[in-house]
Chains A and B, each alone.
Chain A
């Protein structure tokens, strides 16, 4: 049984379509990255999963239950980190957690939860004085209450520094190992690629790609970008580089000294060798693997291809 089934989901506000015929599934036990630029419809989808808003048409099942008819049952087994939400400024972290524990009928220890998110020293401080990152840690701790079967994390890295974001991913991993399914939205590929089994990319209310991280990487055209700084260049040399078997594309970026960028599938040394054979001095070179960020960019901004950036 999938943890989340979204089927032909449409949500419109008057004339404006926020989601259009969106369909996808999240498997039980996986970490699913829900990726898309701001405004793509990620929060709308999450609001629909949690019955905060109602679909115009389509069907949603969470943990095998209808998202509207059984919302309470779903939420009793789900931990949620909502996005862009203020905490209760007059309540302490302990009171926030006691409220969540009380609400879920769980028996967690507030202190232990706060230790997991590295907020234990602020346990009796009122949340009104928290920084954005501290508030985010508190909300993550609230989401963990009651060992939920499903974690829905909406932009969980918001306000966290790189170290905090890493700790957050660590918690996602731990929760997943415990057996929880994690649904994790973000607009930054880097944050999901490290932890997610599969990634769905949302664009303008439609799912444009759903695949494993490796699958997405392959679809990016697994090439490497080679940048070579040379003392001089001529058309014949460029032509020679382009005609190498392993080079799919090469461009002269000009400048002084000139820089050549080439998309290389196989051996990089062939390019360097070709240039040296022509007595062109290589001053510097660097390589960069095609990143998932490139894939994400290509899906969400350009029409096709990775070069659109």
Chain B
């Protein structure tokens, strides 16, 4: 042994592991990450994809939807169809974009390049979230803006508010799934495990979530959980009205349905645009509720839900990523 200095002391580093956040570092990491993605075909591919998506839907509407056009609801219809499609497509894109964001760098060791520089682990996570979100958001903007002219030409009219609402919410929806993806990617060193996690999230919100609702419905029918009875007034074609009393799932079960980011995405669009709430998302009819609608089942609450989907995953990742061996 060489120069021993004092007796061996137990590490007092137990809880001093939390790193700080430096906005300059976050920006530098995000910029690098964005360049890294933009240089590849991904960014332009995505932009072209969104462009074609909007143009395709608009073209179909213009071709098949003359009746709709006559009613002057074309942008609303476009928003309807486009939100149905983006609801399914954006999670896929975000999960694929975020999949390797951290796990890939840990697997290849290049995370040591990032962390040899004066960035904290939190800076790296936030920078990655920002960089990947920017790839998705900017490609949405490029695609949507480029498609706007075609939309205006084909539909003969163009509601900027509806269109912008769809674009804005698609971006926020994308950030939520990017947060989920980057966070999951930070939990493992293996891109294979990270890939499995992405696939699980996909399954969860494309299948399992609906299954949960189905199961709750069954449980209610069997009397295991108490439903809520409500009275609705139906108007028959001959003009007579009839009151019927039925059971619906309790508020908390309806809330479970609201949590699905896809439903939250579409609910927020109904708030911002003229596209009807009865076609999109979860929007519950007023007669469900004897008194006021609970605030957490109102459509505006879906903004909070999306926000939570952005904040909670990354917050968990920020906490945990500080504490692992790379």
Q: Footprint of B on A, CB under 8 Å?
A: 5, 7-8, 21, 23-25, 47, 50-59, 66, 68-69, 71-73, 75-76, 78, 80, 82, 84-88, 90-91, 95, 99-100, 102-105, 126, 139, 142-143, 200, 207, 210
Contacts and interface: CB of A to CB of B under 8 A. Distances in A.
Contacts of B217: none
A52 B9 contact: no
A52 B109 contact: no
A25 B6 CA distance: 12
Contact of A75 (B7, B20, B116): B116
B18 to A, nearest CB: 10
A103 B28 contact: yes
Nearest to A61: B5
Contacts of A210: 1-3
A66 B11 CA distance: 11
Contacts, number: 130
A282 B112 CA distance: 58
B8 interface: yes
B5 A55 contact: no
8 contacts: A8-B7, A25-B2, A59-B11, A66-B16, A86-B108, A91-B35, A99-B32, A105-B24
A82 B109 contact: yes
Interface in B100-134: 108-110, 112-113, 115-120
Given A58-B8, A85-B113, A72 B19 contact: yes
A104 B32 contact: no
A142 B325 CA distance: 24
Nearest to A209: B2
A104 B24 CA distance: 10
B10 interface: yes
A88 B118 contact: no
Nearest to A27: B3
A53 B9 CA distance: 18
Nearest to A21: B8
Contact of B118 (A58, A87, A104, A142): A104
B235 interface: no
